[in-house]
Amino acid sequence: MEKKENPALEANGKLKAQILDQIPAFVLAIDKEFDILYANNFIAERANVDPGSIIGCKCYQVFHSECCKTEKCWMKQALESDKPVSSRGDVTLNNQPMPAMYYAVPLKNETGETTGVVEIAVDITEQIQYENKLREQSSMIRQMSTPTIQLWDGVLVLPVVGVIDSMRAQYMMESVLNKILQTYAKVIILDIQGVAAMDTAVANHLIKITKAAKLMGCECILSGISPAVAQTIIHIGVEMSEVNTKTTLQDALLAAFSLLELEVRKKAQN
């Protein structure tokens, strides 16, 4: 008995193809031998190729990435694990790298057997540019909010204002140590007058900075401890006996001069 074509199924197939061709993303299907079964119009436009001309070609011969023909290949991982795999990386289309977010999904037939992989790659060029801009802005903000200043020859001061989290504390550490290396400073003053609250983590971060500075031959003085912060330190039981503390920045500067064997005198009046 001759099998009749179903117009509805044929129309449905054409609609699916149209939908895939209009998706602004890289849609590729391969078999288990990495031969290309399907490529949408997005690929044709970006790679400047005729989708029909690459059917049957190896995917790694047409598209190039650092993961091609390696264990890191997301399509290979999807085939071997029989599970969807997502990754992020660059693919080269028409000699132009395209940063993309990849999704590799096992391609199954009517019986549920995996026959290949469907790959969808979304161009994230604008997202990468936005992330890079955010990182640059974040770096500028950290530098502005955590400036290590050379107050005197051999004396540095780091005025700390606002909230200290782990990321900011790490940047403070790097800023302090780099400045010590550049200036050969012998004393650094951490002025925390602008820190309204302190917990165990913040106190430990400050202690680590003082210890790291001392390893580089630089004495550290902590100034500007408010009554509220002092009570908190006592309450949480952080051991700060090894930390040289002063009430004000002025007291800390005088202590720094003393460590450098410098003396401040008032100018005699005639």
Number of H helices, E strands in the chain: 9, 10
In this structure, the answer to whether residues 167 and 250 fall within a common structural domain is yes
In this structure, the answer to whether residues 176 and 95 fall within a common structural domain is no
Does the residue 107 lie in any domain?
yes
In this structure, the answer to whether residues 42 and 122 fall within a common structural domain is yes
Distance of CA 96 to the CA centre of its chain: 24
| Helix segments in the chain, DSSP class H | 7-22, 41-47, 59-62, 74-81, 125-145, 166-183, 200-215, 227-236, 249-259
In this structure, the answer to whether residues 216 and 168 fall within a common structural domain is yes
Sheet containing 96-108: which strands, arranged edge to edge? 36-39, 26-31, 114-123, 96-108, 85-93
2 band by pLDDT with thresholds 50, 70 and 90: very low
pLDDT of residue 138: 65
Tell me how far apart the alpha carbons of residues 206 and 223 are, in angstroms, rounded to a whole number: 12
In this structure, the answer to whether residues 93 and 161 fall within a common structural domain is no
In this structure, the answer to whether residues 105 and 210 fall within a common structural domain is no
In this structure, the answer to whether residues 30 and 106 fall within a common structural domain is yes
Tell me how far apart the alpha carbons of residues 222 and 157 are, in angstroms, rounded to a whole number: 10
Does the residue 2 lie in any domain?
no
pLDDT of residue 205: 86
Tell me how many domains the chain contains: 2
For 103-135, write each residue's pLDDT tens digit: 999 998 888 899 999 988 888 888 888 888 877
In this structure, the answer to whether residues 97 and 161 fall within a common structural domain is no
Does the residue 240 lie in any domain?
yes
Domain boundary among 80, 100, 128: 128
For 33-56, write each residue's pLDDT tens digit: 999 998 888 877 777 777 778 888
In this structure, the answer to whether residues 119 and 50 fall within a common structural domain is yes
pLDDT of residue 191: 92
**Highest-pLDDT range among 23-32, 97-106, 212-221:** 212-221
pLDDT of residue 141: 55
Does the residue 190 lie in any domain?
yes
Question: Quick check: 3 pLDDT over 70?
Answer: no
Contact 102, 87 (CB under 8 A): yes
Query: What's 219's domain CATH number?
Result: 3.30.750.24
Query: What's 52's domain CATH number?
Result: 3.30.450.20
Domain boundary among 128, 160, 189: 128
Sheet containing 155-161: which strands, arranged edge to edge? 149-152, 155-161, 187-194, 219-223, 244-246
- Counting residues of the chain whose pLDDT is more than 70, the rounded percentage is 88
Tell me how far apart the alpha carbons of residues 91 and 97 are, in angstroms, rounded to a whole number: 6
Q: Which domain holds residue 216?
A: 142-259
In this structure, the answer to whether residues 11 and 121 fall within a common structural domain is yes
Contact 143, 126 (CB under 8 A): no
Q: If DSSP codes are grouped into helix, strand and coil, which group holds residue 225?
A: coil
What's the whole-model pTM score? Answer: 0.51
For 174-194, write each residue's pLDDT tens digit: 889 999 999 999 999 999 988
Tell me how far apart the alpha carbons of residues 69 and 219 are, in angstroms, rounded to a whole number: 55
In this structure, the answer to whether residues 117 and 207 fall within a common structural domain is no
